[in-house]
Structure 1
Amino acid sequence: MINFGYTRVSTHKAAIDAVRKDSAAQWIAGGTNLVDLMKKGVTTPEKLIDINNLPLKDIRKEGNKLYIGALALNSEVAENELVRTQQPLLSQALQAGASQQIRNMATVGGNMMQRTRCPYFYNTDMPCNKREPGTGCGALKGFNRMHAIFGTSENCIAVHPSDMCIALIALDATVLVTGPKGDCRIPFQNFHRLPGDAPHKDNTLERGELITAIEIPDNPYQKHVHYLKVRDRSSYAFALVSVAAAVDLQGDKINDVRLGMGGVAHKPWRLTEAENFLKGKTATEATFRQAAELVMKNAKGYGHNNFKLKLAPNTLVEALKTATVKA
């Protein structure tokens, strides 16, 4: 790790100005991902701007939306009564992520900004277009067991590692941002990027734009929800495949449904085609399997991760089965 400067700020303007004036500066909050990247030499900021004093920790109801500040801790959000009762899918996803110690440090904004755990990205001796554009993707013909099956390109097949974000994309969240050009709102679906020909860009933020909060609109998904995470071990492991399922049932009919999948793409993966197919259908395993077949039409394995071509649809079916029997 290189030597670096450190300073604290207490206002949005001071935080934004600090990174605009110094191209080698970077914000830090919980640091649960950033410090690891610095230790590995993947990221080498010369100055860290501590933003923990910014007033961005509230969790509150605003009209018909749940407002969650960007500096709210993952553990606090997961255990918050408003979240647990009104957006239980988010609470489940957060509780499935990382360890309790990390959840006690990690922030909502930091969770959204975390970078892939691809071993080629973390190993500075290996080629990686995300870390060093133009060097190639070591995972394409390397060991790619954890890698993507949707939305890939020849430049990158890495996956987004977050659990929280899979719930947020299913729940139609909105990201609140402030920056040099003022405030803006970004639908969560549009926040993260697919790799394309610029895999080093994880999201659509511009330099100096700061996440201030997320908002989740009211919805009918309080009873029939389930976050299913399939991983190599039951504690502190990233998803091989995960599914966030939220269903609005009327009897045994699916009135509406929201689905997100993790561990399969460079960004949280929304299963819109499956959602549209399931609306109005009877909640049966056969129906769920038909939806899963639709999901997998454009999936592509790269050798070591071919097992995901079976694991992904099976995980979706199991998540829907569990969600629809909950009361």
Structure 2
Amino acid sequence: MEKSELISMFKRLEEEYKEKRTLLDKWKASFEELSQGIERLSADFDKKHSEMTIIENLPSELKEKLENRQEGVRLSVKTASRLQRKLNIEKPIEEGISEFILWEDVSSDQDRVIDSEGNELSHETEQSPEESIGHLEEVSKQNEETLEQVKGAIEAAEKRFVTFIEKALAPVMDGLYSGDMYAKDLIVEVTDSYPDYSPYVTEWLTVYTTLMSSIKKILDQFSVGLLIPETGQFFNEREHEPLVIVEDPSMENEQIKEVIRYGYFYQGVIYNQEGFIIRPAQVSVVKNANPAVTDESVNDTNQEDEALQEPAVEINQVETSSELEVK
């Protein structure tokens, strides 16, 4: 390879390294900020739970229901307190990355020679053209290895981040979302059976939306969006997971009846993908029986079956917590 070509390749390699190095440094800073955010979140959860007092003059049945809700929130607080451990901030984002030799360091002194480990060696005479090319090739090879190490560290950081969101933070939101769905039903029940206590209970149960809002602030800060399909939206396999199949004559086949669990996506580029789906939303999907079977409807039904191959399960089997450590 001509020296001019080698120098051009060297500089392109340097530009890519600087770009990847900047991205890796950004991930390092993001994990530090995420750790601080999780610490604040845990403190907010603990404070909010301590404020969840129950007045004494409630009817016993209603008091028992609120005590059960209070215990559920306590479990969410306990799970949130473990997030810092699951983030494992002590584990370095980068480790064992070799030094990258910049062009200015190579070109500044023709008498300077660098060995394969990046150590500077004394050299009293000028290099011959062959020696100069050989030196550039050697340093370029070392830089290529360093660049690959940086790329590997970025991939590991991205995987670590996605795993933390999916396996650690999302289950806390799952538990709160499930509690909020129950709370809405309880408010209707209290309004009918204990109207005098309805304002108190309604205010008391806002704890779920308050805590979910705290989690969403962290998600927003780190470019993670929620997938919350609307009722009536049509199922698509990229964003939705059909957990439950239901019949509803008022709706069309493959329309979403209900959101069972939020999904998550990254609002930017990660894994070299734009809008990467971290976790699809779990939904119940409509599939109505059709007694008037024709050849055309049979084909349509077969296509629907292919789109909804996931087995239906009971809603109460949905996993709402995870003890997996972030590797």
Pick the TM interval, shorter chain: under 0.3
TM-score, scaled to structure 1 = 0.26
Q: Which has the larger radius of gyration?
A: 2
Hey, which of these two has a bigger chunk of helix by percent?
A: 2
